[in-house]
A and B are shown apart, each in its own frame.
Chain A
Amino acid sequence: MKKILVVDDEAHVRRLYTEELKDEGYEVVAAGTGDEALRAFDRERPDLVVLDIRLPDCDGLDVLNEMLSRRRDAHVVLNSAYPAFRADFHSWGADAYVVKSSDLRELKRTIGAVLSLEGASPGR
């Protein structure tokens, strides 16, 4: 089973994502701050991270950089309210960028695509 780390500062959003992704057949862990996120990243060794760019204690981009420096092959899907970031995620080293929405279909599709590119299909 693929493991996903959800990083978002809002508890309700974390809960929604966790439930929805579990329904998709993933194992899900969640973190609310940059610090928590990095500890979970080391401890849980997730296959993919869903990362909000705005975090209360630091810039989500710093977290992204830190993760990539710890594991070059880490998969990260950026998820934020800012559509303008869509143009930048590549240069930041993330795999994909999805604008935050209450409709999670695009996020799920993207996660599936990133993970299947890696050669494994999402568990179900």
Chain B
Amino acid sequence: MSSKPDRGPRRRAYLFDERRESLALRRIAEIGLLLHGATRLDDVLRAVLVTATARQGAGMNRAYLLLGDEEGRILRGEMAVGPSNAEEANQIWNALHESGPSLTEMAEAYRNSVGRRDVRANELVRRLTVPLDDTADILVQVYRLGTTMVADASSPIPSEAQRVAAVLGVREFAVVPVLARKGSLGVLVADNLITRRAFSKRGVELLELLACQAGLAIENARLQETLAQKVDELGRAYEALREEQEKLVRAERLSAVGEMAVRVAHEVRNPLVSIGGFTRRLLVEMPEKDPRSEYLRIIRDEVARLEQIVGGVLDYVRPPVSAVGMTDINAVVRTSLDLLSTQCDQAEVKVSLCCDETVPFIAADEARLRQAVLNLCRNAIQAMPDGGRLEVSTLPDRDWVLIRIEDTGVGIASDQIERIFAPFYTTRSQGTGLGLAITSQVVEAHGGRVEAESERGVGSRFTIRLPLKEQVS
């Protein structure tokens, strides 16, 4: 800038313009910087619009942003900045003028002075919304062609500009495309409602630059969104994989350790029968008062205890005598309960059975399935040491058959419910922790799953969910 006083006013105006332009360019560069920060898309777009309207920027009165929707059907008014009358305009412009030179300071000043006053502009921008097949409209033309159009006051309003002119209440306005690598994203519209100043070529070029920044910002944000989505998908896929793997590990552990336990139990069972059996024979022959009979009674009782433990393990398994046939689920449930009737009576557990007779037969290994149901019923009874209610029901559920076992027992703590299916997880002193593990293994072999719900002190509900059409593995 020159300080020489002899330069004419024309020259000075030119200088002023130049200075304004360089400031505007700085704003644009700042927007570029914003793009690289973690700024929200909304903030960047608002900064673009503020720069378009700031005197230090492109100097337009009002600016509107419209974006094409994803399906390419509509150009929708998204956001606008601008005063609704001269008084408001002065307030805003003064605030901006006094603000610091940085964009952030400017945007801040704008927000403070405007508050919620640019409602009118935002209402207008919504009314600018136009379907993208309305090719006679100037906004659609700019969007489709990707070139700037200016309606100026010197000529009669062309037909394609009439709608926009009517909405905005001005004869003069500029429409520039918001471009990205893959084509148009939307349009930026600006008018000079308050000052009624004509658009300069430079001003329109600045608008184009701003629109370009907006395009980048939007593209950036969409890429980030896609990326976030992909990361999310990946996360879910990973989660699913981990679950599968956990299931595998569980099954593996069960078949390795569980089979081992079962084999040991089986091997130990026979020697225990001999040890305990012969001890009993000795006891019968021993005179009552012989002090050695005390030793024999200890052996007999310890053997009985061991047999109980071993029996507990074997209780849950059935050597693989597998036979798949068309199976009546209701019959499976009924026999299971028959087998437990003495246990229920002893524990003062009331049993109610509710079979849905429309449940179809399914291809299944009846004995293994009965074992699964038995295990769940046994757990339910054990959860009600002081008596209660055991409700067993069957019901069809679209492509599934459900077997539901509900009790009014002690329930399961919510932080434990994930663990109960793990082999050897048990909270009972006589427990083996194999019941649920084997149950879910059997049910999964039928293509189904076991679901557990429970509330501490209220009761538990286990649901076996079996698919109607599934080959048993």
Contacts and interface: CB of A to CB of B under 8 A. Distances in A.
A102 B319 contact: no
Nearest to A86: B339
Contacts of B281: 16, 19-20
A81 B314 contact: yes
Given A84-B317, A86-B339, A99 B273 contact: no
A13 B274 contact: yes
Interface stretch (B50-58, B235-243, B263-271, B401-409): B263-271
A21 to B, nearest CB: 12
Nearest to B338: A87
B317 A82 contact: yes
A2 interface: no
A102 B275 contact: yes
Contact of B319 (A82, A86, A100, A104): A82
Interface in A89-110: 99-104
Contacts of A82: 314, 317-319
B307 A101 contact: yes
B278 interface: yes
Nearest to A81: B269
The B contact surface, by secondary structure, is helix
Nearest to A53: B319
A20 B281 CA distance: 8
Given A16-B278, A102-B277, A87 B339 contact: yes
B276 A102 contact: yes
Contacts of A101: 273, 276, 307
A36 interface: no
Nearest to A17: B277
B124 interface: no
A84 B316 contact: yes
B155 to A, nearest CB: 95
Contacts of A104: 277, 280
Given A10-B270, A16-B273, A54-B319, A83 B280 contact: no
A50 interface: no
B191 to A, nearest CB: 85
Interface string B268-298: 0111111111111100000000000000000
B276 A103 contact: yes
A58 to B, nearest CB: 13
Nearest to B318: A84
B328 interface: no
Contact of B304 (A10, A19, A88, A103): A103
Contacts of B310: 81
A86 B317 CA distance: 12
A19 B310 CA distance: 25
Given A12-B271, A87-B370, A100-B270, A61 B314 contact: no
Contacts of A85: 318
A85 B311 CA distance: 12
A67 B278 CA distance: 30
A100 B273 contact: yes
Contacts of A86: 339
A83 B307 CA distance: 12
B288 to A, nearest CB: 19
A88 B322 CA distance: 12
Interface in B305-325: 307, 310-311, 314-319, 321
Contacts of B280: 102-104
A83 B277 contact: no
B439 to A, nearest CB: 12
B266 A16 contact: no
Contact of B266 (A81, A84, A99, A102): A81
A102 B371 contact: no
13 contacts: A10-B270, A10-B271, A15-B274, A81-B266, A81-B269, A82-B318, A83-B314, A84-B314, A84-B317, A102-B273, A102-B276, A102-B279, A102-B304
Given A102-B280, A103-B276, 11 more contacts: A13-B277, A16-B278, A16-B281, A59-B321, A81-B311, A84-B317, A84-B371, A87-B370, A87-B374, A100-B269, A102-B300
Interface of B: 265-266, 269-281, 300, 303-304, 307, 310-311, 314-319, 321, 335-336, 339, 367, 370-371, 374
